[in-house]
Structure 1
Amino acid sequence: MLDDLDRTIIGILVEDARISLKDLANQVGLSSPSTAERLRRLEERKVIRSFTVDVDPVALGYNLTAVVRVRPLPGMLHIVEKLIQETPEITECDKVTGDDCFIGKLQFRTMEQLDMILDRLAERAETNTSIVKSSPVRRRLPPLS
């Protein structure tokens, strides 16, 4: 389990993963070596999986986003999963229960690009696509407490 100090450290890192160890230590009221040890333990326990950068797809020219539900045709599950993994425009995907097997998020520049991606899947799966108008809740952590 996480204690209050671990939760505080994680909260600070979520806001700024590039914070210096010295500044992080100052904010949590520990020495730099003690803070580094806490971080090491959080990483060992797989609480912290990575330190990353948040890049806006729009800045890379991907002005459109879609959510696609994918239902592989009989016998095509593993082939469709591999296709999804090999399609770089699919930036997130979950394997789910229910009528569909996969729900993915796509970043694309044009409707023609979306059609090309979906056409590759259509040979092996049924798809249902919705264009994202806005994202009132960006990806976030559940409550730390």
Structure 2
Amino acid sequence: MTESLDATDWSILSELQQDGRLPITELSRRVGLSASATTDRVKRLESLGVITGYRAEVDLEKAGFPLLGLVRLKYSAHQHQPLHRVLEERREILECLRTTGDDCYTVRVAATSMRHLEEVVDELARFGSTTTSVVFSRTLPYRGPVEPPKEPKQP
């Protein structure tokens, strides 16, 4: 997939990750293309599935969710559908990553209070053992890739 992305595509991705509401005229100025060429590029990136959507970034604390928890789950069953149903139903579960190692999943949870976080963790604990960490701060917020991946160096 990365073979089909050139420097201009990466510039467009970088700009849109910083501001998904950037008008095409401003985006085209920043990347050095006409508005129609920029529109075509953005549509191509969308159709390739490189751009998967546009969304608002929400300040969780200001939205009433002052606690962010990371829950690691060692899933004890072989059927994952019951867990997937809980993940779909609980809107305070922001993200779930299936991982390697001792834990099977890492779950990001936005909570209104410690009691609320405990309730979500208790529900996840039905599926296996959990380890929970509370986030103090976002040292480096998610930023997305802004340049093509580098090839590993050959020995």
TM norm. shorter chain > 0.5: yes
> What corresponds to 2:8 in structure 1?
5
DSSP 3-state at the match of 1:134: coil
> What corresponds to 2:62 in structure 1?
59
Equivalent pair of 2:13/2:146 in contact (CA under 8 Å): no
- The percent identity for this pair of structures is 32
Distance 1:124 1:15, change over 3 A: closer
> What corresponds to 1:98 in structure 2?
101
Q: Which moved more, 1:76-85 or 1:3-12?
A: 76-85
> What corresponds to 2:124 in structure 1?
121
Of the two structures, which has the highest relative contact order with CA contacts closer than 8 Å and spacing of 6 or more?
2
Following superposition, the deviation at residue 79 of structure 1 comes to: 1.7
Give the count of matched residue pairs: 145
> What corresponds to 2:53 in structure 1?
50
Following superposition, the deviation at residue 70 of structure 1 comes to: 0.8
Q: Does 1:87 align with 2:90?
A: yes
> What corresponds to 2:75 in structure 1?
72
Following superposition, the deviation at residue 84 of structure 1 comes to: 2.5
Equivalent pair of 1:76/1:124 in contact (CA under 8 Å): no
| CA distances 1:14-37 after superposition (whole Å, capped 9, x unpaired) | 111111111111222222111111
| CA distances 1:87-131 after superposition (whole Å, capped 9, x unpaired) | 211101101122111101111011111111122222332111011
Equivalent pair of 1:80/1:125 in contact (CA under 8 Å): no
